[in-house]
Structure 1
Amino acid sequence: MSTHHMLQGDGSAAESGTTELELNGHIVMSDDICVRLPLRFIYRMSDPYVVTLEFPSESPDRPPVVWELSRELLWEGIQRPAGPGNVRIWPPRSRLGGGQLSILLKGAGDSALLEIPFPTMSTWLVSESLTLVPLGTESRLIDWDAVLQRLRSGW
C-alpha cells in the first residue's frame, strides 16, 4: 500500500490540484475467493465532485477500467452504508482492527465487489482530497458560465 501524489512545482498536491492513491485491493469472486487487484483513486480539483477509480483491464493492450464515484458518497460510505444506486459503499463492521471498505459497482448486467483497506482510504480522503477542497465548497470551483454555455449550445 502506498500513497502517490501527482506533484508539480514545489511538490505539493495543493499546487497541482490533483492527488492520487494507489493501493492493492481485492475483488471478491465468491465467499471463499478474493483476487488481489491494484487500484488507483484520483481526485482532481478540476472535477471537484468526482473521485475516479481506475483498475487494470484484463488485457495490457486495453486502457484501465474507469469508474467515477461521487466524492460525497465515498465520504458517507467510510462512515456508514451509503449509495442507493449503481455504487454502494460501506465501512468495515469494526474499525478497531482497520478492516476493509467495501465498494459494490453495478453495471449493465454485471457487478463487482471490491474490498480496500479502510484506514488507507479514509486517511487519503480526509488528509488529501478534503484538504484540497473541503466538502460543501466544490461549487466554487465550477465555471458556471462555461457550463451554461455548453448546455445552450447542445453540449
Structure 2
Amino acid sequence: MQHTVVERELEIRLVLSPERSIPVPARLAYRSEDPFAVHVTFHITSEHPVEWTFARELLVEGVFRPCGNGDVRVWPTKVDGRAVVLMALSSPEGDALLQAPAAPVSAWLERTLRVVPPGTEAEQLGLDDALAQLLAR
C-alpha cells in the first residue's frame, strides 16, 4: 500500500498575553499510515523541536466550532479581523496557547481529507484485511 504524507510549514503565534505573542515556525504533517492523527511540530528550526499528535477530527471540527477537552482544545476566532484557529495545549511541562492562520490550516486539512476521506481511516490501517486473514486460519 502506498503511504502519503501531507505537510505544510507555516508560522504560528505563541500567545503570551492578550497583547503579546511571538512567532513560532511550525510544520503540520499528516501521514496516511497514521490516518486518525495529525502531527504538529513546533520550533522546526531548533535543536529540540516539540511535536504534538492529536486527532485529525479535532482539528477539522475546531476550524468551525470550539471542540476538545483535556490536553487539546481547538476553536476558531478572529484577531484584528483575520480568521484564526486557536489551539490550547496542556502537558505536564506546561500550557501553551497557539494561534494559527485559518486559511492555510483549512487548505492543508482539505488536502488530508482528499488523501484519506473521513470515515475511511480504518481501511488505511488494513485492519479488516488483517482480521479476515486471522479468522481464515
**TM (normalized to structure 1)?**
0.75
Deviation at 1:107, TM superposition (A): 0.5
Structure 2 CA distance for aligned equivalents of residues 73 and 61 of structure 1:
29
Q: Quick one: which of 54, 62, 85 aligns to 2:70?
A: 85
User: % of aligned pairs identical?
Assistant: 35
Residues 39-78 of structure 1: pairs in structure 2 closer than 5 A: 39-56=26-43, 60-62=46-48, 64-78=49-63
Runs of 4+ in structure 1 displaced over 2 angstroms?
A: 59-62, 143-146
Partner of 1:6: none
Structure 1 unaligned runs (5+)?
Answer: 1-14, 150-155
Deviation at 1:93, TM superposition (A): 4.6
Deviation at 1:60, TM superposition (A): 3.6
Partner of 1:136: 119
Residues 2-151 of structure 1: pairs in structure 2 closer than 5 A: 17-56=4-43, 60-62=46-48, 64-93=49-78, 97-108=81-92, 110-126=94-110, 128-144=111-127, 145=130
Q: Contact between 1:98 and 1:119, CA under 8 Å: does it hold in 2?
A: no
Structure 2 CA distance for aligned equivalents of residues 18 and 130 of structure 1:
12
Structure 2 CA distance for aligned equivalents of residues 118 and 74 of structure 1:
11
Structure 1 CA distance for aligned equivalents of residues 64 and 70 of structure 2:
18
Higher relative contact order (CA 8 A, sep 6+): 2
Deviations, residues 95-149 of structure 1 (Å, cap 9, x unaligned) = xx542110000001510000000011111101x1000000111000113349xx9
Higher strand share: 2
Count of residues paired in the alignment:
128
Q: Which deviates more from structure 2 when the two are superposed, residues 136-145 or residues 76-85?
A: 136-145
